[in-house]
Amino acid sequence: MTPVLREQVRQRAADCCEYCQMPQAGTLLPHEVDHIRSQKHRGATALENLCWACARCNSFKGSDVAGYDPLTNELVSLFDPRSHVWEQHFEWKGAAIVGKTGAGRTTVELLQFNLFERVEHRRLLMETGAFPSA
């Protein structure tokens, strides 16, 4: 991946994780470029298949593209930042992120958005005004 492409992905995301919305400035671990469809599954290293992800989301997601909806137990695709609108799939309940759709619920669970330490981290950032999304 070229430095130019990496910078395009970062700028498009306004330096925030496109999954959990964590700003890079709010975490010590550097954000990473994620292949939405992994290279292992023939995903291209192209702007339309890349997103900016915090290290936690990228680690939990791995090469997954789908999971089981915790409400319906149906296999559904994960949230795709290139083809989905974040607000249509997620909503804020304080510092917790709640899935509104199958893709949203599955992504919340698989990427573990609401682990205690992640919610607390967001809550503290929100209290100081350092978390712009909520």
Whole-number Å distance between alpha carbons of 36 and 52: 10
Range of the domain at 66: 3-127
- Indicate the SS3 state at residue 119: helix
71 domain-assigned:
yes
Whole-number Å distance between alpha carbons of 107 and 126: 22
108 domain-assigned:
yes
42 domain-assigned:
yes
**How much is the average pLDDT of 20-43?**
95
Q: How confident is the model at residue 134 (pLDDT cuts 50, 70, 90)?
A: low
**How much is the average pLDDT of 66-78?**
98
Of 30, 21, 95, 91, residue with least CA distance to 59: 30
pTM (2 decimals)?
0.95
Q: How confident is the model at residue 39 (pLDDT cuts 50, 70, 90)?
A: very high
76 domain-assigned:
yes
134 domain-assigned:
no
Q: How many domains does the chain have?
A: 1
Q: Would you say residue 59 has pLDDT above 80?
A: yes
132 domain-assigned:
no
